[in-house]
Structure 1
């Protein structure tokens, strides 16, 4: 596959990430304390997925393949990891993942369809980054595949956690984990309530950021910050101009560990965040995957932005980028293409 083809495929992935809406609802009932729980955890389970298909799971799955790291992490977090027989390369950080079959294709980005078919799982969990064509191919090979909608908020992560539990017969574990997420978020919310909300910019690389209606926006807001990209009218995952960065003048800037650096430009150097050394890097395995562990990121961002109000987690170490370094390029690729590839690769890990 040529470099141009890879970039084209990644661009398709970006468009899909930017345009898919909220997830399907699971039947829920209110419980004391504002938490919700599925009404029914019996089989068969029928749910309409992101492809518009009504997916029926006839019996509790004994074997499950997770095509994305967020789906794999969720299975581990709800206590259903023993049924997982296949995971993507980007889920290798999970305890015991090395004993599962790697279902990633070339470049650790795409699914190896043949491997998944050979595993013959009872259920395949496909996050939003998995192309509909891949889902259709797996279904044509006789597999039951549920493709999730894009998680655009922390509330959607909770919903997806409970939905996963219903699909795999782990409702109790899913409900417990979702309730734990809610308690943690409520604690953070109470701590930062009424505090000044500093402007925060999330840098994805390649000039991209996360605007309004994104999962990252939800993380920033929950941690007591104001997403300056959303404030500037940016929707979804999109480019942000240097002029907008200067105009918004974020007090804090952060990125994820897959990116690890900021654009080397005069505009970024002029921001309050860089001038005051208020820049930090979040772990991509928790930040970039809309799954239960993302609450840990909210806690750490809150401790970083509001150390006087929230000390329930370790704050992120800040970086002094007054003399920023130039982002490295991939041999044979121009600087814009290399930066775009880095940004889109980071996006590909989100789900």
Structure 2
């Protein structure tokens, strides 16, 4: 009798345990067991009780990162630039996300996101306005080197609860960089080619810029670095000539959508003041998509590969 009573009691306790796990009403979101807290680049803690399901990205860099980390059904919005094939690496993926927006508080709030990714260069009142509206915000530090891009991917992957997928993205980047390094192994120290990145406003890519790091990874030297310029400085025509670039990269994109490679090529090749430039003398005016040279996502490694191919075609065309 006692044994039967104990069996009944055990079954009742098991039933209660099962029912307690179903205590939430239908349609209510249950927090996952692994609640987690992250602190953004500005020291603001962010507590998350579940993997974000309505993510809003407010920069193209995080547009590209986030589409590599989570499926489209977890993304509420990307930036309007995600659809621009001249600057975006994710045009196809962007087409599966319902909203493409600008970094405006009212627009973001209307989407009812459970995570907003904000760059540290956006106006400081934007993330605060969103926090005041009860929206979870993560402000990330803008990367300036490939190593910092990898760190950004790792951090954002942790924020969205996809750490392993973040590690996989970084591994893929490292594999591509290793391939480029292997092919460029014959390049001797001190014999690196000089590469100038041209824009509508002039050549750019000085010290501490992402382009400077792309060049370094491609065993080349940015002409703007050689001229002693900073990350946002524009080279004068005199500085460009003095830097003696071996390769000129023609502009492929601007905010007005007016970049024209053929016009740029004709203007450069016919300019009397540029005839002493080695790249002009050897007709080494190359085109690399701006979406590879200006990005701050996993796609930056294709910028390294592109610069390496432009500077050392013989080495890069080997298996």
Q: TM-score, normalised by structure 1?
A: 0.70
Q: Does 1:46 align with 2:38?
A: yes
Residues 251-330 of structure 1: pairs in structure 2 closer than 5 A = 251-259=246-254, 260=259, 261=261, 262=264, 266-311=272-317
Residue 78 of structure 1 and its aligned partner are, at CA, apart by 2.6
Aligned to 1:69: 60
Aligned to 1:139: 131
Partner SS state of residue 116, structure 2: strand
Q: Is the 8 A contact 1:67 1:103 kept in 2?
A: no
User: 1: distance between equivalents of 2:175 and 2:61?
Assistant: 21
Residue 45 of structure 1 and its aligned partner are, at CA, apart by 2.8
Aligned to 2:21: none
* Corresponding residue to 1:231 among 199, 203, 226: 226
Residue 96 of structure 1 and its aligned partner are, at CA, apart by 3.7
Q: Is the 8 A contact 1:103 1:115 kept in 2?
A: no
Residue 181 of structure 1 and its aligned partner are, at CA, apart by 0.5
User: 1: distance between equivalents of 2:129 and 2:98?
Assistant: 19
* Corresponding residue to 2:161 among 155, 160, 169: 169
Aligned to 1:126: 118
Q: Is the 8 A contact 2:195 2:311 kept in 1?
A: no
Residue segments in structure 2 that go unaligned for 5+ positions in a row: 1-33, 84-89
User: 2: distance between equivalents of 1:95 and 1:144?
Assistant: 28
**Superposed CA offset, 1:189-215 (max 9, x none):** 122134131011112321351101111
CA RMSD of aligned residues (A): 2.2
Higher normalized contact order (CA 8 Å, seq sep 6+, divided by chain length): 1
Residue segments in structure 1 that go unaligned for 5+ positions in a row: 1-41, 106-110, 314-351
Aligned to 2:75: 84
* Corresponding residue to 1:97 among 73, 94, 97: 94
Q: Is the 8 A contact 1:245 1:267 kept in 2?
A: no
Aligned to 2:200: 205
Aligned to 2:215: 220
Q: Is the 8 A contact 2:200 2:251 kept in 1?
A: no
**Superposed CA offset, 1:105-152 (max 9, x none):** 4xxxxx232121011111111134422222222222221111221211
Q: Does 1:240 align with 2:246?
A: no
Cα separation, partners in 2 of 1:258 and 1:129, compared to 1, 3 Å: farther
Residue 271 of structure 1 and its aligned partner are, at CA, apart by 1.6
